[in-house]
Structure 1
């Protein structure tokens, strides 16, 4: 068993990778966003929004969950939401192994707490996990809205309308936030000569088509 100081110093070397692990999101100055920056942004949104939720949450648990929810990417790496192929297929298994490795590295109560918080976030059943998951989706689009439109993949035009809603519909504040973020995205797309109405019509037809 490592002593408490050595354990934290050792684990920090692993966690520091999240400052260097880059996401498929760009900042307003053209630099790519790191995983750590994404988690920080989610934490700030949680702090600003939690008091106005219709369904109260324990903000300390929400913040803990946000801090650790992407720790697995220090070992497994980040895979964009829309990616397909072998990396996407292996993502869940790699992350399950990564959180087991993290629990073993941290040992004791700290390791178990991180392990439990990660799985609570993934399960999306508690009020805290539902709030954190909504912010995970909202932050991505909010950051995209600040980045240059040239950094968007074509599929990300569709994701404006398909990615956030399910995670946000359980609370009126989150639904309102989702709508506001969509309006901001639409304004950005229209300014970039993207045919927003055609996208919405196509998605409406696709969603209404029989399966």
Structure 2
């Protein structure tokens, strides 16, 4: 890592110095010149203004106070779930990298908007093409290195070939059901009753910790459906579902 060395005595209070600084020198990252480039700073501010749209872009999910959820709120909960579930995973991940993937995974929606998984429409059919174009536009507006990083992370998430991306994508589906369980059953579409038995498993099947989490989340969904007067046995039968762990799969 580029940077300069800082000795222990550079810290006014050694007790609050970063880990290891009292025993040895620590490398301090250098600050890229681009941060002090007015053009780059302006580009970043324009990007932040664009990204802010995720705070107002609404999803087909409701909160416990009957307010519709924003994309940014979905992303935040995914990040919190990543931090708390990572220690229990069968397949370890680089948590910092997972958080980066989560932060950018829905970034294209600043231009494309959120499209529910069950929607049948022309815009749903064109979703990937539209999101690819959106990410290219976002990259073009950013300083070169930042643009490359955002684009690389977004494509890694979509490809789902790394264990970090697989974990992030599993959380994307898990979080949806967690949030639905917290919202009023009146906000659920009929198709979402069925998604309790289909949406989470494929992305979570590769990891024992995630499979166990799916069972816990599904259990609460079934309790909510039962309390709402819905026939759980019929739903299970429709999907040939037996409440047991999904078949394991291997990390690619």
TM-score under structure 2 length normalisation: 0.79
Residues 58, 69 of structure 2: 8 Å contact kept: yes
Q: Which runs of 5+ in 2 are unaligned?
A: 1-36, 242-252
Does 2:185 align with 1:130? no
TM superposition outliers: structure 1 runs of 4+ over 2 Å: 1-4
| Structure 1 Cα separation of the partners of residues 65 and 114 of structure 2 | 21
Q: For this pair of structures, how many residues does the alignment match?
A: 205
36, 58, 70: which one pairs with 1:22?
58
Look up the match of 2:145: 109
159, 179, 187: which one pairs with 1:151?
187
Cα deviation for residue 202 of structure 1 reads 1.2
Cα deviations across residues 128-165 of structure 1 (Å, max 9, x unaligned)? Answer: 00000010000000000000000000000000000000
Cα deviation for residue 107 of structure 1 reads 3.2
The residue matched to 1:80 in structure 2 has which SS? coil
Rg larger in 1 or in 2? 2
| Structure 1 Cα separation of the partners of residues 214 and 133 of structure 2 | 33
Q: Which runs of 5+ in 1 are unaligned?
A: 206-211
Cα deviation for residue 3 of structure 1 reads 2.7
Quick check: which one's helix share is greater? 1
Q: Within 5 Å, give how 1:1-211 maps onto structure 2.
A: 3-204=39-240
Residues 225, 232 of structure 2: 8 Å contact kept: yes
Cα deviation for residue 95 of structure 1 reads 0.4
Residues 1:162 and 1:2: Cα distance change in structure 2 (over 3 Å): farther
| Structure 2 Cα separation of the partners of residues 53 and 67 of structure 1 | 20
Q: Give the RMSD, CA atoms, in angstroms.
A: 1.2
| Structure 2 Cα separation of the partners of residues 60 and 77 of structure 1 | 27
Cα deviation for residue 2 of structure 1 reads 6.3
Cα deviations across residues 183-208 of structure 1 (Å, max 9, x unaligned)? Answer: 00000000000111101111119xxx
| Structure 1 Cα separation of the partners of residues 91 and 47 of structure 2 | 35
